[in-house]
Structure 1
Amino acid sequence: MFIGCISLIATVLIYMGAKAVYTRHPKVYVSPLLITPLILVGLLLLINVPFEAYNAGGRLLTDMLQPATVAFAIPLYKYFPILKKYAVEIIINVAVGSCIAILSTAFIAKLFKLNADLIESLIPRSVTTPIAMSVSEMIGGMPAVTAVFVILTALFGSVIGPMVIRYFRIDNEIARGVLLGTSAHGAGTSKAFELSSVSGTISSVSMILAAIITLCAAPFLISLITV
């Protein structure tokens, strides 16, 4: 219990420190999503603390991810008329993007001859962590492994997404939000809010829709792929 409390406090302090550095130097290599787990893993290995002992406190943060999504209701309410106007376009594009993410991940994983458990852990990598872990468990994957790939996907998407936006000169705020929210979930949404509040709101909606679609579609698509 003592180690769990220390783990919880250490995680929060390390994240706050990494966030402060990222605020002053907004570069991907100092992103809290990258720095925090690296430091934590290093500390756990250095002082020889098993993951189970750390997770006794750390899992409280994981449990808080689900109710934290309620905060997205604020920008959704503020920009509801825009969401209503572009609802069909957003839903169609997020649905297509989510299905492509599932299928491409499965086919690439099979191409490299990864085992079934790892493939099923990779499938939900493009949605937000709590739902990705639930989907992974539901289809027979390893939630802890899924969480790692979710973070990697978020980091990669938050770097590549803005580059794609600049290269293709995507000026539409709706398109920017759908792109970042569907491909890079939470990290993408954070990046979208840096572009504009409208893009951030659309990104948060896209992230939630992508999670719902993946939750419903992943078991069905996996059954088709594995036939």
Structure 2
Amino acid sequence: MLSLSALVWLLLTVILYAGARMLYRRYPRTWLSPLIVAPLLLIVLLLVTGSSYKEYNSLSHWLSAMLGPATIAFALPIYEYRGVIRRHWLSLSAGVLAGMITAVLSTVILSRLFGLPVLIERSLAVRSISTPFALAAAPELGGQADLAAIFVVITGLGGMIIGELLLLRFNVRSALARGAMFGAGAHAVGTVTAHRRDPEEGVISSLTMIIAGILMLLTSPWLAGFF
């Protein structure tokens, strides 16, 4: 039986996100992104009320389940730009492969350098792919899905903020380069940013994100042996 508190947390999550989105539309600042404001407010409320994550997630996990269809929705505009994809398939494939190898190797090296537990290390290994793919790949690697989801969100937010700064610093003009960077480095969060900047850039980011997720799922049994 669902508790009243679980329903309250679900409603609070939706209300806080909607409010944060309205705030961001009025004041479009990176640090006011709904993906930053809403989780921070929820964390504060959980700490103040003494509620556990298990209690919060007992009903709110359905919001996470909606990430799968939302990710697929990113793929819909790809058909309209199939000509761009045919022209640059080799560059995109090589970029995704290089990005995934770099993400996994850097995670393993840094985790062992800082002496992190094995569970953390393997959950971190999927931080550079979108949440639905990470939730499926993390257990295959010996990680924990909940931890992986947290690391994915943190990576996405960090990638979005750093990506914006890098684009300004190096004046990157190619939609292909910008989209691939956001899709590989900040997955869904970066893809939303890319779609807002330019439709073609958003399509490239969507494609990069999806290819990276599929590649991680296909190679996770081999990566488990590597770990």
Q: Which amino acid aligns with 1:125?
A: R
Match of 1:25 in 2: 27
Offset, 1:57: 1.5
Match of 2:70 in 1: 68
1:129-158 C-alpha deviation (Å, 9 max, x unpaired) = 121122112211122221121111111110
SS of 1:171's partner is coil
Tell me, in whole angstroms, the C-alpha distance in 1 between the residues paired with 2:162 and 2:35: 16
Offset, 1:218: 4.0
Match of 2:215 in 1: 213
1:99, 1:217 within 8 Å by CA — same for their partners in 2? Answer: no
2:6, 2:60 within 8 Å by CA — same for their partners in 1? Answer: yes
Q: Which amino acid aligns with 1:202?
A: I
Q: Which moved more, 1:53-62 or 1:212-221?
A: 212-221
Match of 2:149 in 1: 147
Offset, 1:191: 1.4
For residues 176-191 of structure 1, the aligned pairs below 5 Å read 176-191=178-193
Match of 1:77 in 2: 79
Match of 2:45 in 1: 43
What is the total number of aligned residue pairs between the two structures? 225
Tell me, in whole angstroms, the C-alpha distance in 2 between the residues paired with 1:70 and 1:134: 15
Tell me, in whole angstroms, the C-alpha distance in 1 between the residues paired with 2:115 and 2:152: 21
TM-score by length of 2: 0.93
SS of 1:124's partner is coil
1:138-197 C-alpha deviation (Å, 9 max, x unpaired) = 211122221121111111110111222232222111111101100000111111122211
For residues 189-200 of structure 1, the aligned pairs below 5 Å read 189-200=191-202
Q: Which amino acid aligns with 1:137?
A: P
Among 174, 177, 180, the residue aligned to 1:175: 177
Match of 1:97 in 2: 99
Tell me, in whole angstroms, the C-alpha distance in 2 between the residues paired with 1:25 and 1:220: 46
1:51-97 C-alpha deviation (Å, 9 max, x unpaired) = 22221211110111112223123311221211122122111111111
Tell me, in whole angstroms, the C-alpha distance in 2 between the residues paired with 1:26 and 1:132: 29
Match of 2:117 in 1: 115
TM-score by length of 1: 0.93
